[in-house]
Amino acid sequence: MEKAEKKWRWGFHRWIVLALIILNVVAVNLYAPVQPHIQVAAENIITEPLFTLPVIGDFYLTNSLIATILMYIVIILIALAVRNSWKKNPVAPKGIAGVFEMLVDMIYNMTETTAGKYAAKVFPWFASIVIVLLFANLMKLIPGFESIGVLRHSEHGYEIQALGNGTWSTLLNKEAHNGGYTLVPFLRGVSTDLNFTTALALIAVVMIQVIGVQANGVRYFEKFINVRNIFKKPLFGVIDFIVGLLELISEFAKILSFTFRLFGNMFSGMVLLAVVGVMIPVFLPSGLMLFEVFIGVIQALVFGMLTMVFMAQATQGHGAEEEQK
């Protein structure tokens, strides 16, 4: 009896998958996907600036900013849910509290293995970066993400077709000759905005220096400007000084590396999904979406782990290396 019931359930699930595939094919033929308007910079949802700052200038409401606000709201709501779940059973948390306890415990063990006695200082930054980037990169799973927005007039736009009572419209796969419309989505991937990745990279690199100073004091800066042996041993002193300058350059290079590694991977994934969705719109985009989710998780871990490793290296300091020698 149990085997027959399991077989029926498995068969029912297959019918659901088949129905979704047929619905996908019908929807694609009724409303063919349109070549998207790809832009590196985040798009402005409203044409007028929200406010103007003296030095910075006009401040606009962009689709990546809306996605960022939504991301933090989701994180806060999940944090409250975890706290409430943990209060009910603090000894053996279950559900969402148990999942996050396992995640945080895994991250702390990784930090302790690398940073040792400085794990307590490094862990909050490592965990925060990983969790924020996980949510930022997995926001693409929200239905309508990067596909629902405002229609704007464009010289190389597409024709539109009214939906329902005319309040909503969809783009047709026909380019208009006398000017048409392009879609500016309400939500855009947070990590595809260069401002977000640059800000995160600056925070990571600045805190690497802060933790280095906390662990080694003012002597931490000797690894950048090392003139200790320049008079005692001129040849080796000059070499140490040049090595220190290279270390200083490498610290600034970390900002560029952090920024463009995350931005490049996530933006290229967005472009790939958009282009493949137009060329082969039935089945392949779903598989690519799963692959993009996998890349998003990997990028979050890579960014966080590099920050954690650099922070652990900063705690060693130049003086500790000399003592070991």
Residue with tokens 């419309």: 181
E-strand ranges in the chain read: 51-53, 57-59, 149-154, 158-163, 168-175, 180-185
Give the span between the Cα atoms of 298 and 267, in whole angstroms: 15
* Residue pLDDT, tens place only, 282-306: 666 666 777 888 888 899 999 999 9
* Residue 93 confidence (pLDDT): 78
The predicted model gives 42-70 an average pLDDT of 87
* Residue 153 confidence (pLDDT): 83
Q: Which of 6-15, 267-276, 281-290 has the highest mean pLDDT?
A: 267-276
Whole-number average pLDDT of the chain: 82
Is residue 185 over pLDDT 60?
A: yes
* Residue 209 confidence (pLDDT): 92
With a pLDDT cut of 90, the percent of the chain lying above it is 27
Reported confidence tier of residue 322, pLDDT bands at 50, 70, 90: very low
Is residue 63 over pLDDT 70?
A: yes
Cβ burial, residue 317 (10 Å; 0-12/13-18/19+): buried
Residues recorded for the chain: 325
Does residue 51 contact residue 31 with C-beta atoms inside 8 Å? no
* Residue 285 confidence (pLDDT): 66
Give the span between the Cα atoms of 142 and 276, in whole angstroms: 19
Cα distances (angstroms) measured from residue 106 to each of 100, 118, 126, 238, 258: 10, 17, 12, 44, 23
With a pLDDT cut of 70, the percent of the chain lying above it is 83
The predicted model gives 145-161 an average pLDDT of 82
List, in sequence order, every residue forming a beta bridge with 175; answer none if it has no partner.
158
- DSSP label at 107? H
Q: Is the dihedral of CA 264, 151, 153, 65 positive or negative?
A: negative
Reported confidence tier of residue 317, pLDDT bands at 50, 70, 90: low
Q: Greater confidence, 160 or 70?
A: 70
The predicted model gives 305-309 an average pLDDT of 93
Cα distances (angstroms) measured from residue 23 to each of 18, 161, 197: 9, 20, 38
Q: Greater confidence, 67 or 276?
A: 67
Q: Which residues contact 283 (CB under 8 A, 6 or more apart)?
A: 21, 24
* Residue pLDDT, tens place only, 232-250: 776 777 787 888 888 889 9
Question: What single letter denotes the amino acid at residue 11?
Answer: G
Q: What residue ranges do the domains of the chain occupy?
A: 35-51+61-148+186-317
The predicted model gives 196-214 an average pLDDT of 93
Is residue 37 over pLDDT 80?
A: no
Does residue 149 contact residue 186 with C-beta atoms inside 8 Å? yes
Is residue 46 over pLDDT 90?
A: no
Q: Greater confidence, 3 or 151?
A: 151
Residue 99: CB atoms within 10 A of its CB come to 13
Give the span between the Cα atoms of 57 and 49, in whole angstroms: 9
Give the span between the Cα atoms of 133 and 125, in whole angstroms: 12
Is residue 200 over pLDDT 90?
A: yes
**Please, where are the H alpha helices in 57-94?**
63-88
Is residue 320 over pLDDT 50?
A: no
